[in-house]
Amino acid sequence: MRNKIVAGNWKMNLTFQEAEELLSEIADKLEKIELRDTEVVVCPPFPYLEMALDIAGESVFSVGSQNLSEYEKGAYTGEVSAQMLASMDVDYCILGHSERRKYFGETDEIIARKVDQAIRHEFIPIVCVGELLSEREAGKHFDVVREQLEKGLFFLSEDEFSSVVIAYEPVWAIGTGVNATPAQAQEMHAYIRQLIESRYGKDVADETPILYGGSCNASNAAEIFAQPDVDGGLIGGASLKAEEFVKIVEAAVNKK
Ligand code: 13P
């Protein structure tokens, strides 16, 4: 059976000192719970990765980046390559987040190139898909998510795809306090799993973790994670508070 994953996406928040404190608190709290088949991932900003890796080394959580370059290496000022991150032992990488699509012009084609970099350097990419409110209101949400997957991800071979994690993050739910209902999340997750099955077969579809993201917090995580096709969450705001984040982890651990 596939693993459950709770990943914290810190986005562009916290000072170095705040980040260190938060990670130490998370590590302390995780020590007290048995994670069983749940993985915990923390994705801080780039400059904090090494410090996060140091704390993770004494703890049970893994570390991911929030982005990586579509280019391999060379004269790309300001970029951070997959090779650099791999050489630091970063395991995961969030790709295709709607904020990168919106503010940094990332298209499905760019995301595909980043996914390719991530796979070549043996990362576990957490690839985000999700529709805008206007697209849901127009009844296009399934088509939007299908296109994002087909263009951004389904070029991978079956073998390559087997390390991928998908996060369904409806854009209207991100940072708004309005989460998708458990039924809405389940409906889309089941659809995504069915698309994976048509492309890669049932075994791969059954093993692919599909996370929910968008105003997921300690109060609603258990009922969202209880859905059969929801395998955990990609958490924004609520991942910046140790107690709240670890409660969300517990909700995943307790999922039947
Ligand atoms: P919030 O949990 O703050 O809504 O953010 C979700 C998200 O974008 C995680 O990647």
Tell me: the pLDDT tens digits for 107-155? 999 999 999 999 999 999 999 999 999 999 999 999 999 999 999 999 9
Ligand 1 environment, Cβ below 6 A = 9, 97, 169, 174-175, 213-216, 234-238
Contacts 24+ apart (CB under 8 A), 44-52: 44/10, 44/14, 44/19, 45/10, 45/12, 45/13, 45/14, 45/19, 46/80, 47/16, 48/14, 48/16, 48/19, 48/20, 49/85, 49/88, 49/90, 50/88, 51/16, 51/19, 51/20, 51/23, 52/19, 52/23
Active site residues: 97, 169
Reply yes or no on whether the pLDDT at 13 is more than 80.
yes
Distance 172 CA to ligand 1 centre (A): 10
Check pLDDT > 90 for residue 249. Answer: yes
Ligand 1 centroid to residue 101 C-alpha, Å: 14
8 Å CB contact between 55 and 24: yes
3-state secondary structure 125-168: EEEEECCCHHHHHCCCHHHHHHHHHHHHCCCCCHHHHCCCEEEE
* Residue 1: per-residue pLDDT: 76
Residue ranges and CATH numbers for the domains of the chain are 4-253 (3.20.20.70)
Nearest-atom number in ligand 1 for the CA of 11 is: 10
Which protein residue has the closest C-alpha to ligand 1 atom 2? 236
Mean pLDDT of 18-43: 97
Residue nearest to atom 7 of ligand 1 (CA): 236
Task: Please choose from 92, 106, 131, 169 the residue to mutate so as to test ligand 1's pocket, defined by most ligand atoms within 8 A of CB.
Answer: 169
Closest-CA residue to 166 (of 114, 128, 195, 197): 128
Q: What is the pLDDT of residues 184-231, one digit of tens each?
A: 999 999 999 999 999 999 999 999 999 999 999 999 999 999 999 999
pTM higher than 0.95, yes or no? yes
Shortest-distance atom of ligand 1 to CA 99: 8
Atom of ligand 1 nearest to the CA of 213: 6
Q: What pLDDT sits at residue 219?
A: 98
Calculate what percentage of the chain has a pLDDT beyond 70: 100
CB 182 within 8 A of CB 227: yes
